[in-house]
Chain A
Amino acid sequence: MSELVLAAFAAETGRHVVDEPREHRFQRFRRGFDEAAFRASLAARGLQFIGRSEGLYPATLRELHDPPPGLFLRGGGAVELLGRRSVAIVGARACSSYGSQVARLLGRELASAGLVVISGLARGIDGEAHRGALEAGGQTIAVLGCGIDRDYPAAHAQLAGRVGESGLVVSEYAPGVEPAPWRFPARNRIIAGLAAATVVVEARERSGSLITADFALEAGREVFAVPGEITSALSAGTNALLRLGATPLTSAADVLEVLGIELASVAPPVFAEDPARVLGALTRESAGVDGLVRQTGLDAAAVATALAELELVGAVAEADGLYRAVRPQG
């Protein structure tokens, strides 16, 4: 008997089930459970299930003290993707533009270095990390805190589809399980468990991302935190992690170094005079167009032209009217 019955029982009772429950109710359920029919209905919906006892079940996940009984999968990526070396990028849902740009950059650069990017499909940092990985043509895994057939949040249904094109959407919950607040910390243990390293981009105090970091530490994985402004509530969690000894992340190369991956050095792009001047101003301080006009002495039209050129090569990004340099300097 595979672990599928555990997942089905958990869905039936709305509980979190890791080990075989010792109760009559479960025994009764097991006797009435038709595994073949359940598997057929999964296959009909393009879903897969791998149990804890199967060979394809990721070894990294087994190291957790309460590994999920099995994982439901959907998407075009191979199941082996779960065993590939991967990095989790997690953070606040209501993030700042700085946070979302860092998440996107990390997603892009780590994916193009060949790592699988894992996150939770949530709004904010999670979504940006997935998008960054997809932008680089890399593979990414989204771990859900609800039934595998649900897209949560609904706004990210399209993103889930794109993740599934080449990657995987994963959940320990059978189809039909509703998202509930207590399921997300459980989801976070899978994110931390699958990844060789976890990066926390922005987190408030007592945030779910810190729970992910705790799980990663517990499993003996590397935890990185992106330093933020000490005055911002959005950085309180990450800065606290740093104080407790997390590795500060200053560029994607920090992660690659710890994982022992050589990063092919890329020569910094060379810009014409105006864009170079604008980029120079932006590396000192993020600014709006008007601020740049004052700092560079160029007119509004010339600054806009330079910014568009910089944006096209991914050197700057705009959010809410403020432009900032995207690449870490130095």
Chain B
Amino acid sequence: MAVETDLKIELGKQGVFVTTVSEIYNWGRKNSVWPMQFGLACCAIEMIATTMARYDLARFGAEVFRPSPRQADLMIISGTITKKMAPQVVRLYNQMAEPKYVIAMGACAISGGPFKQGYNVLKGIDRYIPVDVHIPGCPPRPEALIHAFMTLQAKIDAQPLTGADRPRHLDAEAQGLFPVPEQGAHDLEPPVNRLVWPLPAPVTASKSGENCG
């Protein structure tokens, strides 16, 4: 239950500041998201450029990039995930402490990108771990990454503290660890985690090839 804006302004003129617990809780969380220093490929260079002087990401709260997954809140998957690397990515995600978020940066992290026809390329990291924000581009410009970061902040801001939509770290039953795939003889086993990446709902009696809309 939020406070009405007019009441807020009136009280503010008197020197009284009112808010709700969820607002201030989320305000603190969204303005101090620390990414993990995890660059895979070309998108990593744009990520580094985003933290440099021109497109400073630190002013959004991403002050330091922590190399250790235990100390990071956000994993920016920047670059192509290969099947050789995929188990390590899932392991790193498991090692991050809740609350944790994932931005899939670039076409390769979303769906395999230009290297989709690859025997060693994982066609998107959302096959194994849940992704919060997808940002397309090859590579996405630093402004696009900042937009992704702001979208994530808006998403964190909108999370209620109670109820069915509450985030994972406030839910004792929620699953935060995801199974790590094994490297088999020809492919990863399992090739996809169906709980995270379900098939679309069955289509009844329509022409094959009609997938959009």
Chains A and B bind each other: no
Q: Which residues of B contact A (CB under 8 A)?
A: none
